[in-house]
Amino acid sequence: MLTAAMIILGACNSSSTKTDIELADHSSNRESTTVVRADAPNDDTIIEQEEVTSESTEINQTNNQEETASRTGEISNKEEYLQKLSDAKAETDQLKETDSSTYALKKVANDKWEIWDELLNEIYGVLQEQLSQDEMDRLRVEQRDWIKYRDETALEASQKFKGGTQEHLEYVMVLARLTEERCYELVEDYMG
């Protein structure tokens, strides 16, 4: 294109005034403007090419990016926490007892429960920011009922070992399992 412009300009008669020719290329949402200036006195040709982005194109691209970020933000929040749950699951699965003593078993069970409980609290905090007031009020009532259910279920399970060394171990293992399940429920059912 540059060569063609030079040939055309060379064929034209020289004049003492400047001539500007603008050609616009509208591909890929950008406006490319080529300005050709011919200076007659020496019959030299000076060619400049500038790439100009129109304001409306920039505004449209910015709006589209914000809309996409907003939509993906909702999706990525859920995806982010599903990944965190997966990571926590892998972490808790790797926790091993150093020996078979009740103390070692209790330590691992407590560590697992702490990991899931911390993640549950984090998820709940994110939902407080994400949900409407009415949705959050309903979730708060549901969460209180779930905590009561979790504690009663863990206590009931531990009663089969009442007075034994494994009573507390069973209690904490059930707390950890139910808390893990609740984390997945909250992310899958409430996060957008």
Segment 139-164, tens digit of pLDDT: 999 999 999 999 999 999 999 999 99
Q: What is the pTM of this model?
A: 0.60
Q: What is the pLDDT of residues 94-134, one digit of tens each?
A: 988 777 888 889 999 999 999 999 999 999 999 999 999 99
Domains in the chain: boundaries: 2-53, 72-190
Task: Say yes or no: domain 72-190 is CATH 1.10.10.
Answer: no
In sequence order, the β-bridge partners of residue 52 are 31
pLDDT at 62: 42
Q: Give me the pLDDT at residue 47, please.
A: 37
